[in-house]
Structure 1
Amino acid sequence: MSALPDGDGPLSPTRSMTARQMARWRFTRNPSAMIGAFIVLSVFVAAIFAPWLAPSPESAGSFVDFRNRHAPPSWDNPMGTDNVGRDILSRVLYGYRVSLGLVVGVLGVAVPLGVVLGLCAGYFGGWIETGIMRFTDVMLALPPLAMALAITAVLSPNLVNAMIAITLLWWTWHTRLIYRIVKAQMNEDYVEAAKVAGATHRHILFRELLPNCIPAIAVKSSLDAGFVILFGASLSFLGLGIQPPTPDLGTMVATGSEYMPDMWWQAVMPGLAILYAILGFNLLGDGLRDMLDVEL
């Protein structure tokens, strides 16, 4: 139990709270973490409720309005319109759907795969550790963007193939992270006690070791979400990601860059949307790290 700070004053000896309450208190008292949580929440709300929030939902498809093309930001079109008259704000809101779908798809596969491989490598050791970690090192040595470009160039550019390309590279970081944590935990008393008690390998891996990896997984996943969004936007910018007319932030930046600097909003607004989402996930990840750091 820890003493509960009373406002901004000294610790009150008459009040106490659990470690979970202390972690929650640290998070809520961290301005950067709260800003990050707000940004991430707003991005999810924008993606989920895009059909109702978008000023022009039809702009998310192959809609064209040449009479309104290249219109600058205004009350009717807060982010302006693109080269065929579609509302950029509406496309950004729908673009968040694509970006978050990419995050969920990539991390939903890469994180469990990397965690299981890291657990096995750190726990069993021997040839299992050597095989998993040497293969991980080989994958880490490959330039991520070049590898993803090669994969998407062979496959047809779309959301599913973009997920495959990024997932084939992303599991390695989680494998390396969990491996290091497990190796550091193997000599702890609770692991030895579980072995002496006759616990199965599955029990030790998933009931003893895995819970101690959860904080690191949470922080790493939050930070990775921003990188996945940027990585997916990079593929789309190069023409190997999601294809038009599906609204994608990277594709919008690439198309808008052709009209710089006179019609700057067509590239700048989607670019700011990417920055906004990445900033939110990074601030949230830093806040989670501070909240879950037991040394604090």
Structure 2
Amino acid sequence: MEDRPLLSAGYMSWYRFSRNPAALIGAFIVLSVVAMAVFAPLISPFPTHIGSIVDFRHRHGAPDAVHWFGTDKAGRDLFTRTVFGFRVSLLLVIGVLGISVPIGTVLGLVAGYAGGWAEWLITGFTNVMLAIPPLVMALAIGNVLEPNLINAMLAITLLWWTWHARLVYRVTASLATEDFIEAARLSGAGPIHILFREILPNCMAVISVKTTLDAAFVILFGATLSFLGFGVKPPTPDLGSMVADGRQFLPEKWWEVLAPGFAIFYATLGFNLLGDGLRDMFDVEA
């Protein structure tokens, strides 16, 4: 009998999600991107074209039955490189959000619950970091370190945790004065128990929505770094660097920009639609 309200709430949340066509489309897009990234070696017609292979006989080939997205300046299949580009983008998302979300969440929990000097120190440092333009910081790090996937993750992660810290701080500060927190404190629960067993579960909805929406921004931000030459090092296929390589042949070789550009749009659209669907499902503001 006690589980019925929880099951009912979960069912209603799923019902709202399943009745949202945009959310379902977003979920399908995200699943398709993940599937292409995971099974890239199996679905790619020319898996060796992710390396430094050169085939000048087929360079700048227009889309056809063999090369669905055409070929680039080195004769490499663009469909293959686009599919593997999804893998690089998702690795960037996992690396950046896998580090920044836990860091931002813990700092936000501590600042919102502890108050005092801890709140002043964490929120002050967060505000200082938020004042730094992310692209400027990433470009500065890119100028110092060698362009590769690890350093691109580092450049984005250094500032991305701040958004989660501020979000979790606001939620925690509002929950810290609730009756169930006071009851847990009076029953002898320590700060660790209250933070991670009482407050954190109530933050998971907004964290999930924020993380899903951030995945789209990380993909776009990573593509921007690669486009500017501070991302993944060639010949590794990356969507941003593919757009940068193809732009010099516009407008005649339009497919060299269209394929990776549409892939970026496709992935970011999917995560944005899914995030909006989760926000409606949980009925939260993120």
* Distance (Å, rounded) in 1 between the aligned partners of 2:55 and 2:277: 44
Q: Match for 2:154 among 164, 168, 182?
A: 164
Letter in 1 for 2:182: E
Separation of aligned partners in 2, 1:58 and 1:227: 30
Shift of the alpha carbon at 1:186? 1.3
1: distance between equivalents of 2:67 and 2:18?
Answer: 36
Give the partner amino acid of 2:70: G
Matches of 1:190 and 1:168 in 2, distance apart?
Answer: 35
Q: What SS does the corresponding residue of 1:22 show, helix, strand or coil?
A: helix
Q: Please tell me whether the aligned partners of residues 109 and 169 of structure 2 are also in contact (alpha carbons under 8 angstroms).
A: yes
Match of 2:199 in 1: 209
Q: What's the CA shift for 1:287?
A: 0.3
RMSD in angstroms over aligned alpha carbons? 1.2
In 2, the alpha carbon distance for the partners of 1:257 and 1:243 equals 18
When residues 268 and 122 of structure 1 are mapped into structure 2, their CA distance, relative to the original with a 3 A threshold, is same
- Moved beyond 2 Å, runs of 4+: none
Report the Cα distance in structure 2 between the residues aligned to 1:130 and 1:90, rounded to whole angstroms.
50
Task: Tell me by how many angstroms 1:268 deviates.
Answer: 1.3
What SS does the corresponding residue of 2:275 show, helix, strand or coil? helix
Say which SS state the counterpart of residue 66 (structure 2) adopts: coil
- Contact in 1 for aligned 2:205/2:284 (Cα 8 Å): no
What CA distance in whole angstroms lies between the structure 1 residues aligned with 2:17 and 2:71?
A: 39
Q: Gapped runs of 5+ residues in structure 1?
A: 2-16
Matched to 2:140, the amino acid is A
2:243 to 221, 233, 253: 253
Could you tell me the TM-score, scaled by structure 2's length?
0.96
* Structure 2 residues not aligned, in runs of 5+: 2-6
Provide TM-score, normalisation by structure 1: 0.93
Q: Percent identity, please.
A: 62
Q: Deviations over 1:201-258 (max 9, x none)?
A: 0000000000000000000000000000000000000001001100000000000001
Match of 1:239, as an amino acid?
G
Instruction: Select the residue among 26, 31, 54 that pairs with 1:36.
Output: 26
CA distance in 2, matches of 1:116, 1:196: 23
- Residues 82-135 of structure 1, C-alpha deviation per residue, up to 9 Å, x if partnerless? 001000000000011100000000000000000000000000000000000000
Shift of 1:294: 6.9
CA distance in 2, matches of 1:222, 1:289: 10
Q: Paired residues, what number?
A: 280
Residue 11 of structure 1 aligns with which residue?
none
Q: CA-to-partner distance for each residue in 1:11-51, whole Å, 9 max, x for gaps?
A: xxxxxx61101111111111000000000000000000000
Does the aligned pair in 1 maintain the 2:41–2:47 contact within 8 Å? Answer: yes
Residue type at the aligned position of 2:174: A
Is 1:271 paired with 2:261? yes
| Number of the residue aligned with 2:129 | 139
